Structure 1
Amino acid sequence: MNEPVAAQPLLRVTDLTRTYELARTRLFGPREQVHALRGVSLSVNAGQSVGIVGESGSGKSTLARIVMALDAPTSGSVLFGGQDLHALKPGPLRAARRDFQMVFQDPYGSLDPRQTIERIVGEPLQALHDATRDQQRLRVLEVLAQVGLRDSDAHKYPHEFSGGQRQRIAIARALITRPRLIVADEPVSALDVSVQAQVLNLLQDLQRQHGLSYLLISHDLAVVSHLCDEVAVMHQGSIVERGAPAELFTNARHPYTQALVGAVPRISPGGARARRAGRRMQKTPMAGAGTLE
């Protein structure tokens, strides 16, 4: 009797490298090379959220662009649903993009200020050429409702919305094709802290409703802890450690991961904040001691 074959990951990245050549500093001198990715391998299962954390310049955004087939790797492969994305011709690649979409970091720069929300959100459907105008309009209204916006918002322009609302619009645009995977590159870093939790909760709700998978790029440990099942730590183009957030951030083994965890601010009752508060209390006159009520 044959044993059942384990389900393949939705996304499998294998030994990915990306090298950029810089301009020559001398007329006949060699070109300096920058190694943005060095043998990165990871996988994302259906319905799973995987976070990539690291400082600026660690290769996170390069990885996201290559996964989205917006940039080509120097070597290695990106398999989505068993297909090698970088081996596909333009037509099949355009069709494959229905199943993976991206949410960018800047909700101010990623939306065309000259277009209405209806046109912005419906743009991926227009590129696929498989829906009538009326079908596109109905689908736009459907995804706007899913992200907490109203039908009347479809006729407005990006400048009429707050940062959090603009990111909801960007998420609606990613949802319009009913994708299986969303790559989110720093989706809340440009938002106020009070709005970040709302957007993260929205992403969680959408995952439960639609069975989405996420590849979440972030430098914020709290963000990936909130949303992700697994976290990979990137440093100088390589993944140096991975695991479940609770385990990884409690028992970090790699020195770089330990440094990331150690850099997270903590409030200590007996720390500097308490000492500053104590000094202010000493300088403040007591009520009734020559003060006016």
Structure 2
Amino acid sequence: MSGGALLRAEGLSRRYTLPRARPWAAAPVVQALHDVSFTLAPGRSLGVVGESGSGKSTLARLVMALERPSAGRVWLEGQDLQQLSPAALRATRAKFQMVFQDPHGSLDPRRTVLQTVAEPLAVLHRASAAEQRERAAEALAEVGLGPADLQRYPHEFSGGQRQRIAIARALITRPRLIVADEPVSALDVSVQAQVLNLLQDLQQRHGLSYLFISHDLAVVDHVCHEVLVLHEGRVVEQGPTAEVFNAPQQAYTRRLIAAAGGGG
């Protein structure tokens, strides 16, 4: 484990075996990730960019230990996530949380904001009802919502507010790392800026690290210190965001920047 890294991935690969087209045929195999390595320091943001199908979301699932890699390892604060027992992994999950793309789809419409935001605390810490309510109110205040919102339901909020609720749910365990998978792509452009500014404010306030998955280079340019470019599951370029976007070394990166309108 390299000194100073909060998150380290080394040699990550992921293969998926697909259903057989015919009973006697060999099962096809898709290689979604090939030998991906990177480190992320405390309080920093790493953007992962690439076209659809480049392996971005697969990488997010491996980092979150939602899937096991076919090869390679992920360390969080020096702990090899693949070597943890189920109970130890569950306890460690307080340190890393995820924010998904679609706040409408990721929030259960039948549950109140209190139930939704407090759920990770209830599962991971077995906190009392009073503590859950207090911490949920604190998390909502962090994202600009109030205690009166605790008893409301997701459909009563705008898209931007729903994503703030999703961010509050991620914050409630006081994590060190948040994996954000396209967290603003479902929002209007004006609301995107508000949510991105909120994420930056939270990073400065709490020293959070972000692994930021996005197809939008302008978003990554706005919020990420470093960037990793994926193409067909392989890292084709990585480095400080300004350097990669202003002087890309690889043709694929130049094509992404041209498609985005000339850069971040």
Taking structure 1 as the reference length, the TM-score comes to: 0.88
Shift of 1:264: 1.6
- What letter is aligned with 2:185? S
Q: Could you tell me how far apart the structure 2 residues matched to 1:121 and 1:150 are?
A: 13
CA distance in 1, matches of 2:209, 2:239: 17
Match of 1:87 among 55, 61, 83: 83
Match of 2:21 in 1: 25
Cα distance in structure 1, aligned partners of 2:98 and 2:138: 19
**Residue 134 in 1 paired to residue 130 in 2?**
yes
- Summarize the Cα distance change of 1:40–1:204 in structure 2 as closer, same or farther, 3 Å threshold: same
Q: Aligned residue for 1:76?
A: 72
2:4–2:42: 8 Å Cα contact kept in structure 1? no
2:58 aligns with one of 62, 77, 89: 62
Q: Which SS does the other structure have where 1:243 is aligned?
A: strand
Following superposition, the deviation at residue 243 of structure 1 comes to 1.5
Amino acid at match of 1:131: A
| Paired-residue identity, % | 61
Q: How does 1:250-289 map to 2 (within 5 A)?
A: 250-265=246-261
How far does the alpha carbon of each residue in 1:257-277 deviate from its partner, in whole angstroms, 9 at most, with x for none? 0000111236xxxxxxxxxxx
Of 179, 186, 190, 2:186 maps to: 190
Cα deviation, residue 246, structure 1: 1.5
Runs (4 or more) in structure 1 with deviation over 4 Å come to none
Instruction: Give 1:6 deviation, angstroms.
Output: 6.9
Aligned to 2:5: 9
SS of equivalent residue, structure 2 residue 103: coil
1:163-199 CA-to-partner distances (Å, cap 9, x unmatched) read 0000000000000000000000000000011100000
SS at structure 2 position matched to 1:109: helix
Match of 1:231 among 220, 227, 232: 227
1:102 to 85, 98, 101: 98
1:217 pairs with 198, 207, 213, which one? Answer: 213
Aligned: 1:47 with 2:39:
no
**Counterpart residue type for residue 26 of structure 1:** R
Whole-angstrom distance in 1 between the partners of 2:244 and 2:216: 14
1:26, distance to aligned residue in structure 2 (A): 1.8
Structure 1: distance between partners of 2:135 and 2:107 = 19
Distance (whole Å) between structure 2 residues aligned to residue 190 and residue 44 of structure 1 = 26
Deviations 1:140-159 (A, max 9, x none): 00010010001111100000
**Partner secondary structure for residue 259 of structure 1:** helix
Q: 1:89-113 deviations in whole A, cap 9, x for unaligned? A: 1100000000000000110100000
Letter in 1 for 2:216: D
Q: Distance in 2 between matches of 1:195 and 1:236?
A: 31
Q: Does residue 172 of the first structure (1) align with residue 168 of the second (2)?
A: yes
Counterpart of 1:225 in structure 2: which amino acid?
D
| Structure 2 Cα separation of the partners of residues 248 and 198 of structure 1 | 25
* Displacement after TM superposition at 1:60 (Å): 0.3
- Normalised by the length of structure 2, the TM-score is 0.97
Unaligned runs of 5+ in 2: none
1:148 to 2:148 alignment? no
Q: Say whether the 8 Å CA contact 2:47–2:213 is kept in structure 1.
A: yes
CA distance in 1, matches of 2:125, 2:74: 26
Give yes or no for the alignment of 1:200 onto 2:223. Answer: no
SS at match of 1:138: helix
